[in-house]
Amino acid sequence: MQSLKRIAISLIIFLTFSMVANVFAADARMYYSTFDDYALDGKISANEYPNSYELTDVNSGNTFATLYWGHNNTHVFVGISGSFTGWVGFGMNEPGKGMAGADMVISSVENGNLTIGDYNAVGNVLPNKDDDQMPIKGAGTEENGVTTVEFIMPMASSDTAGQDHNWSPGNTYGFFVAAHESSDELLYHTYRTDPLTFELMKDSVSADPNDTKLGAKDSPFPITFISFLAVASVLVLIKKKKNQ
């Protein structure tokens, strides 16, 4: 009976730890790639990016865009495609943080021309253009109501004003995406994700093209939680039996 109790207690400690670890698990992964099949042309083809995620609008619960991405240790490659004709913004911040203090790349395609810029936001208000624009290379298309933008930006920036991200592999960062259904002028978003997190994977980790679902990576919370409940119930039963 005593050893059973010990096993149950060890299991509870283990499961509690894995649940805590799970809370800190990232929603997404950005993999390393050599980008052999890459073309900066505002069109996204199969195998161009290591993986992609469908982005859900917080208000409607519908998918409003697909995010494609990867990095090559010096630059981040991002592609966003969705059924809207207005602006689209890619936000970067610390995990869990939204607009306030975020670095943003905001773009729009108008009459076949892409406008893209480096922005920052001080709160839930109109973002400002950075004084020091990080070098972003971009391309975009708008066809049949679908906007597709692709851009390449440095993984870390020398911006001393602190308005840019500074990423290195092996770490977890925050990101989010917002878009306007029709306005190229920066007006309040029609669609936006929640603030999400991703792990910037080291080049020693092979890309997983099947990693296309946003959500806690590694230990699936419900399974851990259910196991936790099961072990806790066993403990209660042991205690009850002992008291009889």
> Nearest-CA neighbor of 81 among 139, 31, 35?
139
Q: From the list 32, 152, 189, 199, which residue makes contact with ligand HEM (rule: CB under 6 A)?
A: 189
- Return d(Cα 70, Cα 73) in angstroms, integer: 9
Q: How far apart are the first and last CA of the chain?
A: 14
Q: From the list 79, 82, 91, 174, which residue makes contact with ligand HEM (rule: CB under 6 A)?
A: 91
Q: How far is the CB of 97 from ligand HEM (least distance, A)?
A: 7
Q: Which helix (H) or strand (E) holds 80?
A: strand 75-82
Which CB sits closer to ligand HEM, 38 or 175?
Answer: 175
126 touching ligand HEM, by CB under 6 A: yes
Which CB sits closer to ligand HEM, 70 or 127?
Answer: 127
Q: Which residue number has the CB closest to ligand HEM? A: 98
Q: Are 205 and 32 in contact (CB under 8 A)?
A: yes
Segment interacting with ligand HEM (CB under 6 A) among 128-136, 181-189, 199-207, 227-235: 181-189
Q: Are 206 and 230 in contact (CB under 8 A)?
A: no
Question: How many residues lie near ligand HEM (CB under 6 A)?
Answer: 18
Q: From the list 12, 25, 156, 186, which residue makes contact with ligand HEM (rule: CB under 6 A)?
A: 186
Residue 76 identity: V
Contact track, ligand HEM, 36-65, x by CB under 6 A: ------------------------------
138 touching ligand HEM, by CB under 6 A: no
Residue 199 identity: E
Angle at CA 40, nearest 5°, toward 35 and 41? Answer: 135
Which CB sits closer to ligand HEM, 152 or 196?
Answer: 196
Q: How far is the CB of 136 from ligand HEM (least distance, A)?
A: 14
The three-state DSSP-derived secondary structure of 216-235 is CCCCCHHHHHHHHHHHHHHH
Q: At what angle do helices 221-243 and 2-23 cross, to 10 degrees?
A: 150
Residues at the site binding ligand HEM, with contacts judged by CB under 6 A: 89, 91, 98-99, 104, 106, 124-127, 176, 178, 186-189, 192, 195
